[in-house]
Chain A
Amino acid sequence: MHPAISVIFLTTLIGAGQGLYLALYTGQFYSAFNVLPGQDPARFYALGSVIALLLLVAGLASSFLHLGRPERAWRSAAMWRTSWLSREVIALPACMAAVAAWGLIHYSGWNPLLFTLSEAFDIDLSMLVGAIGTLLCFALFLCTGMIYACIKQLQEWATPLTVINYIMFGGASGFMLATAFAAWQGSGLVDFYGGWAIVMTVIAFVTRLASLVRNARLKHKSTLQSAIGIRHARIEQKAQGAMAGSFNTREYFHGASPRKYRFVKWVFLVLVFPLPLLLLSAGLAVQSFGLLLAAFVVQYVGLLAERWFFFAQANHPQNLYYQTV
């Protein structure tokens, strides 16, 4: 498939935004049990949710660039019963609303106690809204991943690993950003977020490697024989019906040389996993905001390459009809 820049930015930006929000809420949740120190609501949670919201908004804005008719985008919520894309169109604004509400509650300080669970576990409004936001974040991850995983003839995508990878990459980059944010705020959560960023990056490495191995062994179900229905071992295309390209030659081929294709794979394998882990560990050791921020930026750039490769690797069966001019 041809990697669309707008979709690359959409999926990486909202992933990081969702991950950052999940990190912030995890911090609040743990502090409710007095496992972690509570943070200043306005300076930490509210400001953090603004950053998460900005990432989500930037992702949404980027998605509009993918549309031929962006002015009609409102129509795309209609088919949520059947279409994962439609479900994402609903889940994204819902997630943004929950993040905004959660941040606003912390900023305004209007956070009434709703009820108490067992002893000493108070559920206030921010805990409830935050939990709803968490569910919506995971729903959004599921929708984003299923958009790709549900197309069965794109066999490279049609695996649960696609959804898992979207969750793990979003979580890893979000916690990476949360670590830098906590360091900037001088919060005591730097090591907590940093630890989880390492764990998630390692899990993401394992799951992404699993999908790379799976795709390397993939046997495509469609062949030129099944595409035109002629049983012969040697079929060669002589003409594709157009001399200078068509939608079919632009949309479904990545168009990069094999060298560039392999290069991008190694770029993302280095930039998403070992390099950020190195920067993060160094940043945690010396408690340097600069190094922690660099770890996030490097991983984010790596994720752009990862997403490019994700699209480029998917081989659409229609390409069988477009082997030669």
Chain B
Amino acid sequence: MTQLALVIDLNVCVGCHACVTSCKEWNTSGTAGYLADMNPFSKDPTGTFFNRVQTFEVGTYPNTETVHFPKSCLHCEDPPCVPVCPTGASYKRESDGIVLVDSDKCIGCSYCSWACPYGARELDQDRKVMTKCTLCVDRIYDESLPEKERKPACVNACPTNARLFGDVSDPDSEVSIAIRDQGGYQLMPEWGTQPANHYLPRRKTRITIHEDELIRVDNPLRKERMLPMPDAGDPTLDETTSW
């Protein structure tokens, strides 16, 4: 079994939206049809995006952190959007676990978008069919592309390598190792959807230093004295003894 997925490192994402624009560019010129782009240069521009970067502030000033949060279809292992589709347009591929919409079968009833807890699906206003992240299925198997480019457009575009792409069912893949070693987690686990996409948390490099590591201790060879210990300011054995 293969389950392709993205692993997004929130520790690295700088919120530049390069993944958003590269996604839109690739998919609007893709084989599945263009993505709506309404009023792009006037009031209330709107349109279809498979991927969006949101920004959250965690904590209270001055102890705040800005978290940029890229959000796209998570390609759940148990996708709630698939069984509710009345036409079978929404499906999960056996071969690689990608959740797709057959835009020739979709009737645009939006029911699958109600069943998705993450709001990962968008009804295209022009084509009137449901659309979603395809994990660039028309890219990753394209043998006319150099092998290192056979990745989703967002992964290729990310300037900080915050996005990893691979098979999360293979324990030795880059993505599985990253999830395992760096605390990868899933969104909204309470719905049992088992998202294939994982997020890597913010990580701080900290070392813990105890007080006795900062203060010079007595010669360990010296016989232990009775408690209480002398004050920290008292001369040490080194200073009072000529060895």
Contacts and interface: CB of A to CB of B under 8 A. Distances in A.
Interface of A: 1, 66-70, 72-73, 75-79, 82-86, 89, 147, 150-154, 221-222, 224, 226-230, 232, 234-248, 251-252, 316-319, 321-322
Contacts, number: 175
Contacts of A251: 110, 113, 123
B85 A79 contact: yes
Contacts of A153: 80, 117, 191
Contacts of B127: 68
Given A68-B129, A85-B84, A237-B54, A230 B117 contact: no
Interface string B78-95: 001011111111000000
B236 interface: no
Nearest to B121: A247
Nearest to B113: A251
Contacts of A78: 86-88
Nearest to B122: A247
Contacts of B57: 235-238
Contacts of A69: 106-108, 128-129
Interface string B103-115: 0011111110111
Contact of B119 (A76, A86, A252): A252
B187 A235 contact: no
13 contacts: A66-B110, A67-B107, A68-B129, A69-B107, A76-B109, A78-B86, A79-B83, A79-B86, A83-B84, A229-B199, A241-B52, A248-B122, A318-B116
B83 A245 contact: no
B55 interface: yes
Contact of B46 (A151, A232, A245): A245
Interface in B45-68: 45-49, 52-60, 66-67
B138 to A, nearest CB: 22
B114 A1 contact: yes
B119 A239 contact: no
B205 to A, nearest CB: 18
B26 interface: no
B69 interface: yes
B25 to A, nearest CB: 16
Contacts of B237: none
Nearest to B131: A247
A89 B86 CA distance: 8
Contacts of A75: 86-89, 105, 107
B189 interface: yes
B107 A70 contact: yes
Given A237-B56, A240-B54, A251-B110, A152 B191 contact: yes
